[in-house]
């Protein structure tokens, strides 16, 4: 059976909890002695997963420049879509999610995954219909982020957003006509940021389900941004405030 690599504490911890049998081995930076590393090692030992201590250069080479945080795992089998409840139930901090409504270009999906990884997003959510799948084009564009950021496809996006709200996750939609812009608006730490397709924006029911709408202030002649650029602007402002 073929194998592939995943890296980062969140991705590997989630895999340990959801599908430990698929893990062939975990390589850990020998210099990491912190509580997070100890907890992962303990969990891996309980699951009987092979542990290998490695230096940072080997981990850098394996991750191909990705942000591995000192831990890389080799897993068996093809890439699988994540389940939202599994992602949320493993979080140790307020949820930070990206929701894509109507993004059908796999290159845009890959770019959004890359932005989400860089901003520390816990998962990217999209509807199963009228949405790009996690194909080879998206994975290549994501530059490794497809392995580190869970991609969740749901049957009914509006219902999923309502379920997030029941978990006290604030749903923030982006719209050019919103009353407040990104820098004037306030929101709690636990958030799901909703981006619509370039040009069309969010669908009506998605928009109506949001707790809040914000706009990105535009100072030039163009009226909108590519979805991955817009996601980057919003997610990094949210990350700045979380810090």
Binding residues for S-adenosyl-L-methionine: 196, 216, 225
DSSP 8-state assignment for residue 123: E
CB 147 within 8 A of CB 186: no
Give the list of residues 6+ apart from residue 114 with CB closer than 8 angstroms, or none. Answer: 141, 142, 143, 145, 228
Residues comprising the binding site? 196, 216, 225
d(CA 115, CA 48): 34
Q: Using CB atoms within 10 Å of the CB of residue 231, give its burial: 0 to 12 exposed, 13 to 18 middle, 19+ buried.
A: buried
Q: Using CB atoms within 10 Å of the CB of residue 184, give its burial: 0 to 12 exposed, 13 to 18 middle, 19+ buried.
A: exposed
d(CA 119, CA 113): 10
Tokens for 16? 């340990």
With CA atoms as reference, report the closest residue to 236 among 193, 175, 173. Answer: 193
With CA atoms as reference, report the closest residue to 73 among 95, 99, 47. Answer: 47
């Amino acid at each position: 059976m073929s194998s592939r690599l995943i890296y980062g504490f969140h991705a590997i911890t989630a895999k340990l909890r959801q599908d430990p049998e698929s893990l062939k081995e975990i390589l850990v930076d020998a210099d990491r002695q912190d509580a997070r590393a100890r907890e992962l090692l303990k969990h891996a030992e309980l699951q009987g997963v092979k542990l290998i201590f490695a230096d940072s250069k080997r981990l850098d080479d394996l991750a191909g420049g990705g942000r591995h945080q000192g831990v890389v795992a080799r897993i068996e089998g093809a890439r699988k879509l994540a389940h939202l409840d599994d992602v949320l139930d493993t979080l140790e901090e307020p949820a930070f999610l990206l929701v894509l409504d109507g993004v059908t270009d796999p290159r845009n999906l890959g770019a959004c995954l890359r932005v989400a990884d860089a901003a520390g997003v816990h998962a990217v959510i999209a509807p199963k219909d009228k949405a790009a799948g996690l194909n080879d084009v998206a994975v290549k564009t994501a530059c490794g982020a497809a392995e580190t950021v869970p991609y969740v496809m749901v049957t009914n996006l509006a219902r999923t957003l309502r379920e997030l709200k029941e978990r006290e996750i604030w749903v923030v939609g982006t719209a050019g006509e919103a009353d407040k812009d990104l820098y004037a608006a306030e929101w709690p730490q636990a958030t799901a940021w909703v981006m619509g397709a370039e040009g069309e924006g969010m669908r009506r029911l998605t928009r109506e389900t949001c707790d809040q709408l914000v706009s990105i202030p535009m100072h030039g002649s163009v009226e909108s941004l590519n979805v991955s650029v817009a996601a980057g602007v919003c997610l990094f402002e949210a990350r700045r405030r979380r810090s």
